[in-house]
Structures are given as structure tokens and as C-alpha cells.
Chains A and B, each alone.
Chain A
Amino acid sequence: MTGGSWLCLLAPLGGTILITLCGTRIPRLAAAWIATTSVFVAFGGAVWTFVEMQSRQPRSRSEITTAWTWLQSGNFHAGLQLLVDPLSAVMMLIVSGVGGLIVLYSIGYMDGDDEERRYFAYIAFFVFSMLLLVEGGNLLLLLVGWGLVGLSSYLLIGFWHERPSAVQAAKKAFVMNAFGDATMALAFFILIAHTHSLDFGANFNVHLSSTAENLVALGLLGGAAAKSAQIPLQTWLPDAMEGPTPVSALIHAATMVTAGVYLIARTHPIFEQARTVELIAAGTGALTLLVAGLIALVQVDIKRVIAYSTMSQIGYMFLGAGVGAYANGMFHLLTHAFFKALLFMTAGLAIHALAGEQDIRNMRGLGRLMPFTKWCFLVGALALVGIPPFSGFFSKDSIVASAAALGTWYGWIFWVCGIAGAFLTGLYTFRLWFLVFPGEPSPFVREHYHDHHGREGAWTMLVPVGVLALLATVGGWLQWSPRWHPFTDWLAPAAQTLAVAAPTNTQEYYTSAATVIAGLAGIALAWAIYSEQTIAVPAAPFWRRTLEHKFWFDELYDAVFYKPAVALTNGLRREFEEPVVLQTGPDLGETTLATGSLVRRIQTGLLRTYVLFLAAGAAGVVLAFLIAK
């Protein structure tokens, strides 16, 4: 079982190192296949682990394996250790499985880019980092993975480094995640100060003062929010779409951005001792899913629309994990990985076919030329909106239901948000759909469309899309909470759903009904506006501008953090560093030299002056002696 986990972890790293060392001595395709194989090997390892775990008793499904002591000081030490338990097993499967498909996809997508090797080295490195994150056997190692995925996300967002916008987006993503890392680190410092350890066990069974607990939880939540682009740390995600589309699919949809959810599930004992903070997490999710959904309504870049929907879906997961229904959150994470990766990859097909065009206003009627893409996208869209029998339906509804299960006033607020979110999802998703696929191809499309040897894309691209379309359809059947819930049971030893968050069947039913109706309503409205044009979009210029400016978060941060920092620094340099710090020494030197020339003046060259000094000196000494004797 541990063998599988090590294999799973190290295979992608090996791929990275191999590609880096070979450098330009191997053809591009070779690099691509090295990466792909390594990730699929990792998937094999994950499956191996899973199968072994299957054969064990639920109680004994968790195992820790240590390679060596990574960091040690005094009585604090953190090993380079992996933890395999149901939770990490699931994540390993998702990461390596979906990851493998996406890497395969990018063979076609990146074909012809002259720095392909670098791309594949990076992406393999990402998979490694992500696996380290989910397998990390203690908080420190988890933080390491946490940082490394941020790093690889930086590398991949800025992959096309001649584009200033890409470089800027990459930096922004990294810095915001660094902020999250910092808050997590601070949380860890508190733990170390109390328990002298960062092991899961040591810190999950200890009871700290409620302040400490809350601070720790807040720190973790900060990291989670930054990584998962939850309000207020969400602004980097849309910009991250500067990266290649497979990157968006893998990192910014399927895996990395959902790490926040994993973190909450993994460290749920801490959160449960700080229940308030946990509910704040839920609230954040609720807020984010609404805000993101609203912003998505006005975006015109196909990838940004999907990006905002990602934010909103992660909002759902936070909601679920926050209220205590970890399994439901994780389940949505799973299905979301399928259909969101699918959506991105179909979008990628479209972009690829249109030579990099991403503005949906130019894409009308693409479906006529790309039927496969069209249908796959439809599957993803329906799954996203949560229309039965597609996967989203099963996972999303149970989350909203758990909110209802709380029964408290905020529980109901969450519930309403969930329903409203479902409506928005339907609206923006099908806005996208109606704008892009149906109808006669627009002149722009006709002009720019080019197929790949008569197909909509290279087989390496089409196969993964197909597979994911299948998964997005059937993936949800794994569990329908009212009737069967193997997934929840599987996770129970690692992350037991809280009793308060376990919905009754009735709650499940009417919640499902509500969400489906809301979703359908959204779809209908989209149809009416963008397909039939029977309803006009209300002008509401203020609201439109607000949404187009994403509620002015960027402007806000610019004004509150960046500009003041720059002003402060320039001020320091002009007013303090240059005049004071750098100048003091020279000034003192000048003074000394001035003194020197003063002393020099008494050296008149006149003999009598010299004698005078001698005489005066003698007289002085005599006088002093006569007085002092």
C-alpha cells in the first residue's frame, strides 16, 4: 500500500528530472510522452494503493510511512513521510487520473510550441507537487506540497513568458498564494509552540485554548481560501487563464484550486474545535458561489466564464466542507474534477480550432463545425448545472441539503444561496452554450476555423475529452445520498461527516427538486435571452460595470496594498535611505577632512610659530604642574 503511494508520488518527479536533464537532446514528443507515461504510472500507483486499501478493514486503512527525517531541531522534527488513508487515496486517484488524461490532452494541444519540453517538465512537476500535497504525512509536508503547487502554477501560468499579461498573472497568483502560505505557516507556529510537532495525530487530539484553536483554524482557512480562490483572495484565478488551456483544466479547475477543500477535510478536527471558523469557511463559500456566478454572467472570454464557474463550484465545496459534510464536499470535488476538466478541454478544442480565439462573441455557430466538441460541452454543461442524471446533480444537491440539515438561521441562508447559485449556474453556463455552439457559423468562425486532418483535434485531445465526458455523465452515480452512499462510508474513517450536517432524506428530496428547478429556470432564461432574444438584458449600467470590474476587488487591492507599499518604499528611499543611511558616512568623512584642513592651517611654515608652540607648550606644562602639584 505504501509502495503504491511512493510510486505514485515519485513517478512524476522522475519524469520532470528526466526531461530537465535531457534538455534539448530529446525530441519534443519524447518529452511529452515521458511526462504522460510518468503520470499514468502514478495513476497505476494510486490504483494499486486503492486496491490494497480496499482489502483492509476500514479501521486499518490509514498508514504512515517515513523516508527520513526532513527537518529537525531541538525536540521538533518533521519526517519526509506519507500518509495513505481513504481521503488521500481518493485525491491520489483524482489527481493522477484526471491529470494523466489532461497531460495526454496537452500533447496535442501544445504541439508546435517551441518550448514544449519545458511545459511537460513543469506539468509533471505539478502533478508531483499535488500528489505530495495530498499524500503529505504531516502538516509541514502538506505545506511543502501546498507551496510547490503554487510554484508550478506560477510556472505554468507564466509559461508564455513573452506575454507581459501572462507574467503579471503568474506573479499575482504566486504572491496571493504566498500570502496564504504565510497564514498557514503562522498557524503552524502556534501548533509548534504548543505541541512541538506538526504531526497530524499530535495536533488533532490535542485541545488548545479556544483563541489558539480559532487562530490556527483562521490561518488554515487563509491558506485554503488563497489556494481555492475564495473571497477575498479570489482575484488571481481569472487572470490565471493566461496559461495554456490544459493548465487551466488541470490546475485551475480539477485539482489545485480544490486543495482548499481537501485541507479542510484533512484538518477537520482542528476546524471542529473552532466551529465558528468552520462556519465562516462555509459562509465564504456561500458568498463566493454567488459573487462568482454573478460575475460569470458578463464575461466574454470563454475561459474566464469557466474560471468563474469554477470559483462558484468551489464555493459549493467550501459550503459543504464548512458545514461539516466533508464527504459531500469531497464528492463534489470529484465530480467537478470530471465535468470542469471536460468543459475546459472542450473549450480548449474550440480555442485550438480557432487559432487561439477566446472571445465568445466571435464563436457563434461553432457547433456546426465541431459536433463532437458541441455534445461533449453540453454534457459538461448539464453536469455543471446539476441536471440529472449528470454527475453534478448528485454531488451539488447533497451539499445544499447538508446546509438545510443544520436547521439554524445561517443554515437556511446557506441553503438559499445554494439554490440561487444553481439558478445562476444554469444562466451563465447556457449563456455560454447558446452564444457559442448553436446556429449558423459566424463569418469569423468560418474564416478562422481549421481542423486537424479532418478531425476536430488530434486524437490525443479527443480521447481524453471523450473519457471525461463519460465520467462526467456516470461519475455521479457513485453515490446518491438518499439511497446509497459508498463514497461517504469510504471517507468516514478519515473525515466523518458531522451529525448536524447529515440531511434527512426529505431534506435531500426537496433540496434536489429546488436546485433542479432553479437550474432549469436558469437554462430557460438563458435560452430566452441568448437564443430567442425574447427577453432583453436589463441595461442597469452600474450593475453591469460592477460585474465587469468583478466588484472592483482588483482596484481595491491595488489602492489599499500595492500603491501604498510602493509609495512607502519610494518615500523611504528618497527621504531616508539616500540622505541618511547612505550619506551619513560620507558626511562624517567630510567633517573630518574639514577638521584636518583646519589643523593644517596652524602649520604656517614660519619658524617662529613653531618655537612659539614649543614655548607655549612648555609654559602650559609648567603651569599645569605648578597647579596640580
Chain B
Amino acid sequence: MNATSLTSILIWLPIAGAILIWVLPLSRYATGSLALLFSLAEVGFWIEQAARFDFSRSGLQMAERASWFGDLGVSYHVGVYGFSLWLVGLTVVAMAACTGYGFWVGRDRSRAYFGLMLLLTGATVGVFESQDLLVFYAFFEAMLIPLYVLIGVWGGARRMEATIKFVIYTMAGSLLMLAAIVVYGLQAGTFDLVDGPVSASRWLFLGFMVAFVIKAPLFPFHGWLPDAYREAPPEVSAVLSGVIAKAGLYGMLRIAIAKFPDPTSFYRTTVLALAAAALVYGSLLAFRATDFRGVVAYSSLAQSGLIALGLFAGTDLGFDGAVLQMVAHGLISTSLFLIAGAVERRTTTGEFRLLGGMARGRPALATLLMTVGIISLAVPGSASFAGEFLILAGVFQRAWWWSAIGAGAIVLAAMYMLRLISAVLHEARGSTVADEALDLRPGELALVVPLVAGLLFLSAWPAGISHHSFFGQSPAATVKGQFK
């Protein structure tokens, strides 16, 4: 199999799997295993892709291109850059873990469920790989379709409001992006992201940014976030904050910043301000949130802000740090939500006042939650420390106060994450924590441990990503040069 076809395989394999699962009348168990098989195959193919990716070569790699409809210059054009490679990896790994979680907890209506999970996988990979604006938009929207049903059917008590709110919020942004895409594409004569020229139009920039800041999200566009993260089934929340949110940030990097250099510098301060606001605001609210998922939800808001800070710093360190942090935080929040799900399965709640003292007698749970939590608060030496350090060092070169704010927010991060850890694991035993509530079972370990292992590996060698995301010595120059 030649390398280029890997790109398309990664997109269409899970979608084919979804259709297969919908068609085949299999038992729940068989369906789950089949879905798991597909998502593991995805991981395998991605490893193959990463192995074949040539980091010493510039420009797009493993590109495939076929005209979709020519009269408007729209083509099915997919390929990977360094940073998209990492995000695809994050996607397939996280989705595999979450699919496994769904299998482990035995979701009912399994055929629908697993089909949608696979569909989501394909769509998300598509977002990170597509190199044509309309294809990008198509996948960007396609992610919503399974999410809407996944939250609405398998979610919590207030799932319906949550899911409608989520979809309409995000569509509000992305539809404006569609308008912007139409205008950009017809002006440029092509919708191709690689050949497309840069544009100086501030309106188009804003049109794109609206979609991305809602998806990421940045303050104050996160109205959908708390409900969605609380009401969705844990594995879906994991995907949402771990992977889907990254699509918005990826969009900022790949489209908003790369294609609109002048507007970017014009609105830089504004966006940086929004990002910083998201960082501080999210950290503060996470610090006062009263439940497990609430903390993680608002911390994801803060993290989105941090990453946006790095992206819009527009400096070498900023870009590298942002990509690194995207991957790191993706793994972190995925594992955190999965652990949250495990806790809720045992105690039926995520409310702090009902939890506590779970560390005693549950070493695996304690160790994993402790490890992930500590990595997520960016203790020096961890992957997320590396990411945040680069981001803040990068934005420092823009103006010192951004990194001052960031540093302050990191202290806040320590406060809310330690609060989370001790509220769940430490002090007196919570009223809902029964002795029978077991430690993590092997099945759950098999899902979370690989993610944590990945995090530890990144902690040992963050340069593995930070130095392999953009070709050349200066990421800023690479971005400016359209990744050529």
C-alpha cells in the first residue's frame, strides 16, 4: 500500500466501519468488538503513517487530490503536515480509548452507538487532513451529526437542552464560516488551501474566526460548554474536550493565521485578550466548580485560551508550544473524563460534597488520577509544562504581560487541580463512596493507562512533537510561507 493512500484510509475506514455496523445485525458484544477493532486499526494505520512521514521534507505530504466539482474549483484534497499528523494521532488514539470505554460500560443500542462513534472518528480525522476549504467545512460540520445524537441519546438528564444548545451554538459560528468560505473561494477562484492565495479581508478573517472561537471555545463564546460537558456521556465529553475542541484551534492555525496574515496582525491584540480572558476566567471558574466534570470543563476552556495565546503570539515558540499543548491537553482531558466516568459509575455522582477518600484501597484509581491531574497542572517536567513553557515564552516575545497573566493562571491551575484531586481521593470518605466501589478494573486500566503512558513519553521527550510539527528552523516563517 503506498503511503499517500494512508491519508484517505484514515478518513474513510471508520466511516465504512460505521456503515458496516449499521448494516450488520450483530449482537452488542460483537458490535462493540468490531468497532474496537476498527478504531485500533485506525491507530495502526496512523502509526504506519507517522513512520512513513518524512519530517525533513517541507510542504504537504501523502497528499491525495481528486476534483469534486470543477466549475467552482472544489476538489477532494487531503494530506498531512507535521502538526496535522500529531492531531490525527491524538484523534485516533483518543477515539479508540473512548470507543473502548463505550464497549466497557456496554452502551445500549450498541449498533447505533458504535456506528456514530466511528463516524465521528472519520469526520474528525477528515478535519485535520483536508486541504480544501469546502472539504474542511464538510468534515467540520459532519462532526456535529454524530455528536448531536450521541449526547442527545446517551447523555444525562438534561441532555436535550445541552445537545440542542451545543449544535446550534457551533452551527451559528460555522455557518458564518460557510459564507466566508464562499466569498473567499470565489474571489480566489479556488477553494484549495494549499494553492489558495492569502487574503487581506478582515471580514473573511472574522467569518472564519467566529467558527473557531466557538468551537475551541474562547471566552465569552463558551455558553455551550458547561452543559455539554456535564450532560454528555463521559467518553463523549472526553472526545469533545480532548479532540473536537482542537479542531477549532487547528482551524485558527491552518486557515485563520496562515491565510489571513494581515488581519491576524490587525486583530492580534483582540484575540490574545480573548485568549487570556478565557485562560483566567476558565481557571477561576474551574476553581469554584462543584463537580468533577465542571472542573475539567472549565479547565479545558482555560487550556483553549492558553493554546490560542500561543498560536496568536505568532512566534516560533508559540506555534510549537501550541501544537505540543494541543496534543498534551488532548490526552489529559480525555483521560480525565474517562476517569470521571469511572468515578461516576462507582458513586453515581460527580459532586465533590458527595465524594472523597477514594484513594484508600484503590491504588490504581488514585495513581492514575494523581498522575494525570499533576501532569495537567503543568508540574515542571511534564509534557504540558513543556507546552505551556514554550507558549508563554513565545507570547512573552509579543508582550511581557501576556505571559505574566499566563504564569498567574498556572498558579490557579495548581489550585483547582489539587482541589479536584483531594476532593475525590483524599480526606474523609464521601457519602456516596461505598466500600464495594472497586478499584479500576483491568478493562478501564487498559483504556486509561495507554493514554497516561503516552503523556509520560511526551514528558520525557516533548521535543518529539515540539520540534517535529513545522518544517524548518523557524515555525513562524513556515506558517508565514504557507507551510511550503
Contacts and interface: CB of A to CB of B under 8 A. Distances in A.
Q: Do chains A and B touch in the complex (CB under 8 A)?
A: yes
Contacts of B428: 162, 164
A311 B381 CA distance: 28
A76 B316 contact: yes
B380 A143 contact: yes
Interface in A40-95: 68-77
Interface in B265-288: 281, 284-285, 287-288
Interface stretch (A227-235, A242-250, A578-586): A578-586
A171 interface: yes
B226 interface: yes
B379 A585 contact: no
Contacts of B165: 585-586
Contacts of B54: none
A183 B367 CA distance: 29
Contacts of B195: none
Contact of B425 (A161, A171, A577): A161
A585 to B, nearest CB: 5
Contact of B284 (A147, A154, A181, A565): A565
B463 A72 contact: yes
A128 B428 CA distance: 31
Contact of A151 (B374, B408, B467): B374
A296 B280 CA distance: 39
A589 B161 CA distance: 11
Contact of B169 (A151, A189, A585): A585
Contact of A182 (B161, B381, B400, B408): B408
Interface in A79-133: 118
B223 A582 contact: yes
Interface stretch (B22-30, B33-41, B138-146, B385-393): B385-393
Contact of B407 (A158, A182, A568, A583): A182
B462 interface: yes
A572 B284 contact: yes
A161 B381 contact: no
A460 to B, nearest CB: 25
Interface string B203-247: 000000000000000001011101100000000000000000000
B411 A171 contact: no
A178 B287 contact: no
B13 to A, nearest CB: 33
Nearest to B374: A151
Interface in B282-330: 284-285, 287-288, 315-317, 320-321
Interface in B411-461: 411, 414-415, 418-419, 422, 425-428, 461
Contact of A73 (B220, B381, B422, B467): B467
Is chain B's interface secondary structure helix, strand, loop, or mixed overall? Answer: helix
A181 B168 CA distance: 42
Interface string B106-128: 00000000000000000000000
Given A71-B386, A74-B473, A161-B425, A568 B284 contact: yes
Contacts of B418: 154, 170-171, 174-175
B133 interface: no
Given A73-B317, A148-B380, A178-B410, A585 B284 contact: no
Contact of B224 (A68, A171, A178, A585): A585
A434 interface: no
9 closest cross-chain pairs (CB), A and B: A147-B380, A74-B316, A73-B320, A161-B426, A182-B407, A189-B396, A144-B381, A72-B467, A72-B463
30 contacts: A69-B463, A70-B386, A72-B467, A73-B463, A73-B466, A74-B316, A74-B317, A76-B316, A147-B379, A161-B359, A161-B360, A161-B426, A175-B418, A178-B410, A178-B414, A179-B411, A182-B407, A182-B408, A185-B389, A185-B392, A185-B407, A186-B400, A188-B389, A565-B287, A569-B284, A569-B285, A569-B287, A573-B288, A581-B220, A582-B226
Interface of A: 20, 23-24, 68-77, 118, 140, 143-148, 150-151, 154, 158, 161-164, 167, 170-171, 174-175, 178-179, 181-183, 185-186, 188-190, 192-193, 565-566, 568-570, 572-573, 577, 580-586, 589
Interface of B: 161, 165, 168-169, 220, 222-224, 226-227, 281, 284-285, 287-288, 315-317, 320-321, 357, 359-360, 363, 367, 374, 377, 379-381, 385-386, 389-390, 392-394, 396-397, 400, 403-404, 407-408, 410-411, 414-415, 418-419, 422, 425-428, 461-463, 466-467, 473-476
